Structure 1
């Protein structure tokens, strides 16, 4: 199982909306997914109550001590992906989630205050030697502010931009909030929209970063491998039969 944690110091960065969007994008790509809510504000739980579909399940875990054993139990059950939505600020629960993550995503709006607020989360990820990436969220469609924010985040991490900035950037559009209010993810609410394309693109970036393969892809690989084996065996039998006839 892989665990992705969305965390940042500042509220309003869109962690919950991103968590929901990524969970559905992963599910649509063939992964089994559980949403973990460590934020007592309960945005994910409220979203699930508005939802008619049962998947993905939202599981509240508010005590730091419960995070590691629960993640181990989910991994033992065969779950492929856990996505953890955290509260604003740094808490014991957030630190525990980051500690046990395979990737810490740090959302930031392209503002000075939001970028400055990523520093504490970045320090925790680095302290536990966890992989991380920034997600520029709620951006304008275009403008110099985006480029400036991206370069500042790269400078803050002291790494090349391509190594730390997730792509694509997530543009501020009403689709995301409308989907949240309807108990949907944006890929369900407006599947053909640019918003949905961006979330799917972000999920593909994560897949590449973590080198993930879904159950569907694994089954396809197994079927192809089995078919190749059968063809090889059939060719060998035919070759032996031909040799017997000519001898």
Structure 2
């Protein structure tokens, strides 16, 4: 089972709408999909209520200790893709979700301030040595300079090709996303032939490529040297060393006990 987490420090980045769209796109592609919601705001639970319990099923799991158990149970039950939508900020549930994921997608609007606000999320991703990618979301259709500024902000802090950690395509700001949410639909269901649906399907294919065949990681000590690290494909020796290494401690992650729990 592939576990994909959407997480970021800043609110309003569009995590929930992306989670809905990706879940429906994965189901459309033939996967058995389950969505876990750790955000008590309940956006996804309310969305499913408007769907009259149509799949994919949304589970609310607020207890961080239950996340690993639920993921194991879902995998045993035949679920092939689990998407976890998290609350803004860093809390125990978000930390647990990232710890047990295969890929952390970090949605951000195309502004330098929003990108800088992803730093706390990246600190948790680094602590657990997880693969990640930024998703430029709510991108203005006629905002080319904003996208350029955003990618430059990422690129300036990345020691290698930014394409490795910048998901494709960028998701444009269009009304279909909000209209689909209000109707209890995924954007792929709301306007199957629309541009939004095409973008979400492409984003799902890109994401699947990362977790299924192009997932790469980087040693923790290298990750701590840059604010926006990118992923490296490990050698066999590095993979074996990482597998044998114990999970990082709170001290390793630079997260206080109160913040992490």
Q: Where on the TM-score scale, by shorter chain, does this alignment land: which range?
A: 0.7 to 0.9
TM-score normalised by structure 1 residue count: 0.83
Deviations 1:101-160 (A, max 9, x none): 000000000123211111111111111000000000000114111011022123345442
More helix by share: 1
Runs of 5+ in structure 1 lacking a partner? 213-247
Deviations 1:144-196 (A, max 9, x none): 11011022123345442110000000000000000000000100000111110
CA distance in 2, matches of 1:92, 1:154: 30
Runs of 4+ residues over 3 Å off in structure 1: 154-159
Q: Does structure 1 conserve the Cα–Cα contact (< 8 Å) formed by 2:112 and 2:149? A: no
Q: Which residue in the other structure is 2:204 paired with?
A: 203
Q: Which residue in the other structure is 2:44 paired with?
A: 44
CA distance in 2, matches of 1:68, 1:157: 32
CA distance in 1, matches of 2:156, 2:135: 15
SS in 1 for 2:135: strand
Q: CA RMSD in A?
A: 1.1
SS in 1 for 2:133: strand
Q: Which residue in the other structure is 2:166 paired with?
A: 165
Q: Does structure 2 conserve the Cα–Cα contact (< 8 Å) formed by 1:151 and 1:161? A: no
Corresponding pairs, count: 212
Q: Does structure 2 conserve the Cα–Cα contact (< 8 Å) formed by 1:39 and 1:62? A: yes
Q: Does structure 2 conserve the Cα–Cα contact (< 8 Å) formed by 1:134 and 1:153? A: no
Residues 1:15 and 1:127: Cα distance change in structure 2 (over 3 Å): same
Displacement after TM superposition at 1:53 (Å): 5.2
TM-score normalised by structure 2 residue count: 0.79
CA distance in 2, matches of 1:184, 1:146: 28
CA distance in 1, matches of 2:198, 2:155: 25
Q: Does structure 2 conserve the Cα–Cα contact (< 8 Å) formed by 1:2 and 1:81? A: yes
Runs of 5+ in structure 2 lacking a partner? 214-261
